[in-house]
Amino acid sequence: MTNKIQTNSPLVDQFSRTISYLRLSLTDRCNLRCSYCMPPEAAHNRTNVKTGKFLAHSDLLSYEELLRVVRLAVAMGMNKLRLTGGEPLVRRGILDFIHQLSLVEGLEQVRLTTNGVLLAEYAEKLYAGGIRYINVSLDTLQPEKFKKITGYDHFADVWEGLQVAKQLGFKIKLNVVAMKGVNDDEFHDFGRLALEQPFKVRFIEFMPIGEQNSWKKEQFIRAEEIQRMISELGILTPFQKKHGEGPARMFDLESPDKRKGAVGFISPLSHHFCDQCNRLRLTSEGKLRSCLLNDKETDLKSLLRGGASDQEISRCIRQTILDKPQGHTLQDDLTAEQRPSCGGRMSRIGG
């Protein structure tokens, strides 16, 4: 007896988590070279900027293949999508792709994660295409430090993009990877930014991802310590958390002079949020991944290019959900002698 794939049925894993959220990494290419994202494989002999080793275009899923996966996932019950990279805005044709996504019946929301370098150029067209929520990765508010972290002098471009996006009415979250000795001297500045601008600022614990990642134990700072520092700026009041809202513990921040903002803390290592995880990730290599910090993957690209039927692909998606691990073990490695590592490359998995 065969099991018939039911459309619009809840996708529940073996730990009673409903999977409603798909993240698509459109490319591993990027116009920045952040130390914790891209491994130091090669450097330009003049600029000393990392060049990386990128996937060939043919190794990426085509937009048609991506749309097929999205349509099947939505038919199965997923209703939320995030576009990531690499840097998604460097892939040609992304605006037409977003338009095609807007036509997928049942897909309620498409969000975008970007480094912001091209945001000023693309913001108006992204808004016209239906994007309303964007996450911008920004680890420093100092131009010189930005160049040191990313390899390029693009802080002004990112800041311009944020201002354009704000004026257009985007809901904006800033993602700050917290690194002791790198940007911990700016946590108060980011907290003040949340009081001054309509940006939700989220501090993310530094994660050891990638075989050649730049993670160092001495640079790790726990979310509780960051929260304590931000509380020096005012009163933190926790948000009422709703299911599926994401991994951040969000707080209203109110300063002594009654200004208000929103800050959040994402703690994948010190206090993981696996019990609330509602997502799958499709990497830029076409691998379906049920956990960011677990290297088990399902090769959807081979199915898509091997003549698999919609039912076979849907069955594969459902099985990946059933195989989703209860949680990761990286927090146990914080006290281990060896450096913890998740073998997948962040620029391919998708941030």
Structural domain boundaries, residue 70: 21-349
DSSP string, 226-258: HHHHHHTTSEEEE----TTS-S-EEEEEE-TT-
Q: How far apart are CA 210 and CA 212, in angstroms?
A: 5
Q: How far apart are CA 36 and CA 213, in angstroms?
A: 6
Report how far apart the first and last C-alpha atoms of the chain are (Å, whole number): 40
Phi and psi angles of residue 217, each rounded to the nearest 5 degrees, phi first: -55, -35
Residue 170 lies in a domain: yes
pLDDT at 46: 42
What total of structural domains would you count in the chain?
1
Residue 13 lies in a domain: no
Residue 231 lies in a domain: yes
Global model pTM greater than 0.85: yes
pLDDT at 1: 33
pLDDT at 5: 42
Residue 84 lies in a domain: yes
Residue 190 lies in a domain: yes
Residue 7 lies in a domain: no
Question: How do the pLDDT tens digits run along the chain, 351 residues long?
Answer: 334 444 445 699 888 999 999 999 999 999 998 877 765 554 444 444 445 578 999 999 999 999 999 999 999 999 999 999 999 999 999 999 999 999 999 999 999 999 999 999 999 999 999 999 999 999 999 999 999 999 999 999 999 999 999 999 999 999 999 999 999 999 999 999 999 999 999 999 987 665 545 557 788 999 999 999 999 999 999 998 665 567 889 999 999 999 999 999 998 777 666 777 898 999 999 999 998 777 889 999 999 999 999 999 999 999 999 999 886 556 555 555 444 444 455 666 765
pLDDT at 26: 97
Q: How far apart are CA 84 and CA 7, in angstroms?
A: 26
pLDDT at 218: 83
- Give 111's strand partners: 82, 133
Q: Sign of the C-alpha dihedral, residues 201, 205, 211, 215?
A: positive
Phi and psi angles of residue 209, each rounded to the nearest 5 degrees, phi first: -115, 130
Q: Which residue has the tokens 């409903």?
A: 18
Residue 4 lies in a domain: no
pLDDT at 247: 82
Residue 16 lies in a domain: no
In this structure, what CATH number is given to the domain that contains residue 219?
3.20.20.70
